[in-house]
Amino acid sequence: MRLLTSILLLFTLISCYQPERDCKKFKTGTFEFKALVGTQLETTTFKRNDSIEIDYYQGKADTSSIRWINDCEYIVQKINPKNRAEEKAIHMKILTTDNNEYTFEYNIVGQTNKQKGTAVKVK
């Protein structure tokens, strides 16, 4: 009986846990995102305001428009795409926040394959 009570208590405590999700403080600012590209760890820096995001990668800048769906989700689309792949909009969703970083998932709008990443607010 004690084991059953302990298990029920554990499930109750776990189900009440809500990860932090203060998305508003990540709507604007300067951020860094690191990703493994082949065998190299590459860093992208991006500056975001309410409607524009400028990405800096390998010495080049690229501007995208942003349309916020809610405080934690937005659609990003390149303003001057260079090919068909860059024309596709990307759905971004902030999953959790912690101090100066957030974990997000993203996918091309209309597709189900999602990927995750973590961005750090540097300014």
Inside any domain, residue 52 = yes
Read off the amino acid at residue 17. Y
Give this prediction's pTM: 0.78
Beta strands of the chain (E only): which ranges?
Answer: 29-37, 40-48, 52-57, 60-70, 73-78, 90-98, 101-108, 115-121
Inside any domain, residue 105 = yes
Q: pLDDT digit string (tens) for 38-77?
A: 888 889 999 999 899 999 998 999 999 999 999 999 999 9
CATH code: domain of residue 27: 2.40.128
The distance from CA 55 to its chain's CA centroid, rounded to whole angstroms, is: 14
pLDDT of residue 34: 87
Q: Domain range spanning residue 105?
A: 22-121
Inside any domain, residue 4 = no
Inside any domain, residue 16 = no
pLDDT of residue 38: 84
Inside any domain, residue 13 = no
Q: pLDDT digit string (tens) for 81-101?
A: 989 988 899 999 999 999 999
How many domains does one find in the chain?
Answer: 1
